[in-house]
């Protein structure tokens, strides 16, 4: 019973770390990366569609992204979505593809991005704490129903806390690496 709960918990925590890692990919650094815009939602025939499902995204130069939609009629919708996003980029539309020039980050923008990274890491840790709370509630329920002993409850709490510490350290490491990448000139 306890092993099953811990295994499920480990899977959920891994997903939380993966979600944070994916969120951090979207925060722009000084370099062009297709991950920066691939999750951007574009209204396409009345449906919100991720950009990577309607266009090819490439980085032909270190500071340039090229977005070539498969349907040329989607160019204006893609352009509007980029302008609405919090990327702070201005698209250049030539009728066939959209170019996004990635400007160098100034010091003020770098600090804002570092704060955004810290906020996302904290949101990830909050999700870990919610997972922990739910797992401990489950353990208490198991003990009330006499499915586990009181010793198993305490041992389970300790193991859960150890897992939380490990996954929290992973999140801190992801955040630290992203901050270094942003502050790199």
Q: What is the token pair recorded at 52?
A: 């990577």
Global pTM value: 0.71
Q: Which residue has 């020039």 as its token pair?
A: 101
What is the CATH code for 31-101?
Answer: 3.30.1360.40
Q: What does the chain come to in residues?
A: 185
User: Cα angle at 173 between 20 and 118, to 5 degrees?
Assistant: 60
- Tell me what pLDDT residue 35 has: 80
What's the pLDDT tens digit per position in 136-174?
999 999 889 988 888 888 999 999 999 999 999 999 999
The CATH topology of domain 2-25+106-183 is: Topoisomerase I; Chain A, domain 4 (1.10.132)
Q: Is the confidence at residue 129, as pLDDT, over 90?
A: yes
Domain residue spans in the chain? 2-25+106-183, 31-101
What's the pLDDT tens digit per position in 59-72?
888 888 899 999 88
Distance of CA 134 to the CA centre of its chain: 23
Percent of the chain beyond pLDDT 70?
98
Please report which confidence band the pLDDT of residue 90 belongs to, taking 50, 70 and 90 as the band edges. confident
Sign of torsion over alpha carbons 85, 87, 89, 91: negative
């Amino acid at each position: 019973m306890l092993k099953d709960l811990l295994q499920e918990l480990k899977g959920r925590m891994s997903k939380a770390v993966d979600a944070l890692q994916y969120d951090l990919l979207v925060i722009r650094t000084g370099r062009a990366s297709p991950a920066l815009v691939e999750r951007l939602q574009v209204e396409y025939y009345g449906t919100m569609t991720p950009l990577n499902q309607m266009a090819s995204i490439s980085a032909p130069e270190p500071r340039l992204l090229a977005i070539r939609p498969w349907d040329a009629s989607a160019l204006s919708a893609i352009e509007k979505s980029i302008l609405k996003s919090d990327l702070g980029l201005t698209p250049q539309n030539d009728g066939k593809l959209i170019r996004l020039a990635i400007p160098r980050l100034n010091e003020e923008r770098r600090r804002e991005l570092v704060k955004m990274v810290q906020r996302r890491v904290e949101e990830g840790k909050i999700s870990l704490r919610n997972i922990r709370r739910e797992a401990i509630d489950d353990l208490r329920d198991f003990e009330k129903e006499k499915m586990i002993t009181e010793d198993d409850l305490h041992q389970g709490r300790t193991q859960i806390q150890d897992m939380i510490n490990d996954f929290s350290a992973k999140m801190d490491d992801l955040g630290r690496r992203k901050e270094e990448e942003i502050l790199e000139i």
